[in-house]
Amino acid sequence: MINDANNIVLAVMGAVGNGKSSTLNSIIQEPLFQSGRAVGPVTQRIGSCVRYWKLPEVGRTVHIVDTPGMCDSTYKDVENVHLMVEFFKTLSHGVSAFVLVFNIHNTRLDEYTKNMLRLFERLLGPQFWKHVVIVFTHVDEDQRDYLEENIDALTHPVEGFVKVINEWFHLQYQPPLVFLSNRDTRYNQYARDCFMELYEAVVSVEGGQRREKFTCTFFQEVNNRAGVVQDNYIVQSIRSAAAAIPQMVQSGTRAVANVCSVM
Ligand SMILES: Nc1nc2c(ncn2[C@@H]2O[C@H](COP(=O)(O)OP(=O)(O)OP(=O)(O)O)[C@@H](O)[C@H]2O)c(=O)[nH]1
Ligand SMILES: [Mg+2]
């Protein structure tokens, strides 16, 4: 099923507690992934499954890949490199959309998130940006008016969030933005409408009529390997990608290098 062109492959990424698991649960209308508030991350490992896309009902299956907030601590310890290895293995058959999840109440693009995006760009190539959808959660119906100013600021054509991302990464096009609420998505029409917008955004970044999923040399090389060789290849690739990014050399590559030497 994973290679079925009609199947959507969706990977969520974003900092701890931004609403990644909740967004996926809303899409499939099932509390499959644990979500909640905690001191640390609620999601601890890569979770993936295939379900019907239920909100809205589009008659298509979706392979969803939930992740812990890797960008907060990707480079800190062995566990996180293992997570990245799992993540890339799961995605190596192709991705319809990378959903970057932010909380509307905290939209600072922190250094870890930037580094994660830099790493993705380096590993997957700049084409990966064509499959990015940016989601802001916690835009609940009763907050919408109050949040309108935040939304305007984020979408501002000169200083807005996406404009800033575009400039940082020299993007030629604008990733779609979706503002949504995960509250009461079963009965609340406003929340349900938000998910129609999310689905439309995902369709807009799918590879045209033929819905070809994003792939790249790195993914193909991953698929050409198996077992420990595959794991080592991914770790080495992460390591050299990180080493080629000046900002990461300053902040965390030593940790990655240490991790690589223990694997
Ligand atoms: N009101 C409101 N709460 C939300 C929304 N989205 C997520 N939440 C809440 O925010 C908290 C964190 O959501 P999660 O889905 O667990 O976030 P996560 O990004 O998966 O978190 P980690 O797995 O810890 O990285 C939970 O208590 C959710 O119920 C939303 O749109 N509105
Ligand atoms: Mg989670």
pLDDT tens across 40-95, in order?
A: 777 778 889 999 999 999 999 999 999 887 654 444 555 678 888 999 999 999 99
Full residue range of the structural domain in which residue 99 is found: 8-262
Distance 183 CA to ligand 1 centre (A): 10
| Apex 207 CA angle, 202 and 212, nearest 5 | 115
Whole-number mean pLDDT of the chain? 87
230 lies in some domain: yes
DSSP 49: E
Residue partners of 72: CB distance under 8 A and separation at least 6:
15, 16, 41, 112
1 lies in some domain: no
In this predicted structure, what is the pLDDT of residue 36?
Answer: 86
Residues, CB-to-ion distance under 5 Å, ligand 2: 20-21, 42-43
The 3-state DSSP class for residue 106 equals strand
State how many domains the chain has.
1
76 lies in some domain: yes
252 CA to centre of own chain: 21
- Smallest-distance ligand from the CA of 35: 1
For residue 198, count CB atoms less than 10 angstroms from its CB and return exposed for 0-12, middle for 13-18, buried for 19 or more: buried
- Supply the CATH number for residue 174's domain: 3.40.50.300
Alpha carbon separation from 225 to 86, 125, 220, 232, 240 (Å, rounded)? 14, 20, 9, 10, 18
In this predicted structure, what is the pLDDT of residue 258?
Answer: 40
Counted residue by residue, the chain has a size of 263
Instruction: Identify which of 26, 33, 34, 35 to mutate to test ligand 1's pocket (most ligand atoms within 8 A of the CB).
Output: 35
Rounded Cα distance between 75 and 78, Å, is 8
- H or E segment and range at residue 179: strand 177-179
In this predicted structure, what is the pLDDT of residue 251?
Answer: 57
In this predicted structure, what is the pLDDT of residue 259?
Answer: 39
Alpha carbon separation from 233 to 70, 223, 229 (Å, rounded)? 20, 11, 6
2 lies in some domain: no
DSSP 42: S
Question: For the chain, which ranges sit under pLDDT 70?
Answer: 1-3, 39, 70-79, 249-263
Lookup: tokens for 227: 């077992």
98 lies in some domain: yes
In this predicted structure, what is the pLDDT of residue 67?
Answer: 85
Distance 209 CA to ligand 2 centre (A): 32
How much is the pTM? Answer: 0.91
3 lies in some domain: no
Distance 37 CA to ligand 1 centre (A): 7
43 lies in some domain: yes
